[in-house]
């Protein structure tokens, strides 16, 4: 099976041994996106700002792959504090409309760079 590596400078570069996303047969699997601001490399201190930037980064990768967030079939969200669950739901509704993609949300002990949220997607493009 062949696959294509998806990369855009409008989302942060990978901070480890992974690609921003890969595309197979009409399917794109993104790597998890933190709320890093690509222009500065900074991670906002505020959770809501981190969540919004994580979705912006995911959006940039979907566009680089030739689609958009409406192509999302499945999201996975990682939170370091489940108390932020209502906030991430609110922010997600800024980027997605019904019918929503399938989604899982997990509490994790920690994320890279001490981030509070990470979002990944499977897209059909």
Sheet containing strand 21-23, strands side by side: 4-6, 21-23, 27-30, 117-124, 72-79, 102-107
Whether the model clears a pTM of 0.75, i.e. scores above it, the answer is: yes
Secondary structure class of 125 (helix, strand, coil) = coil
- Beta-strand ranges (E) seen in 47-116 are 72-79, 102-107
**In terms of Cα–Cα distance, which of 49, 71, 27 is closest to 115?**
49
Residue 9 has a pLDDT of 94
Residue 115: DSSP 8-state: -
How far is the C-alpha of 94 from the C-alpha of 11, rounded, in Å? 18
pLDDT value for 16: 67
CA distances from 123 to 41, 98, 112 (A): 25, 16, 24
Looking at residue 20, its pLDDT comes to 86
Task: Give pLDDT tens digits along the chain (125 positions).
Answer: 466 788 899 999 877 667 788 777 788 999 999 999 999 999 999 999 999 999 999 999 999 999 999 999 899 999 999 999 999 999 999 999 888 888 999 999 999 999 999 999 999 88
């Amino acid at each position: 099976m062949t696959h294509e590596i998806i990369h855009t400078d409008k989302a942060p570069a990978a901070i480890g041994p992974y690609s921003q996303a890969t595309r197979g047969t009409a399917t794109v699997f993104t790597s998890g996106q933190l709320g890093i601001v690509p222009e500065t490399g900074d991670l906002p201190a505020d959770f809501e700002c981190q969540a919004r930037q994580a979705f912006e980064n995911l959006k940039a990768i979907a566009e680089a792959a030739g689609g958009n967030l409406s192509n999302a079939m499945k999201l996975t969200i990682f939170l370091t504090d489940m108390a932020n669950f209502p906030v991430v739901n609110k922010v997600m509704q800024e980027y997605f409309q019904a019918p929503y993609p399938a989604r899982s949300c997990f509490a994790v002990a920690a994320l890279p760079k001490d981030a509070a949220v990470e979002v990944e997607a499977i897209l059909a493009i």
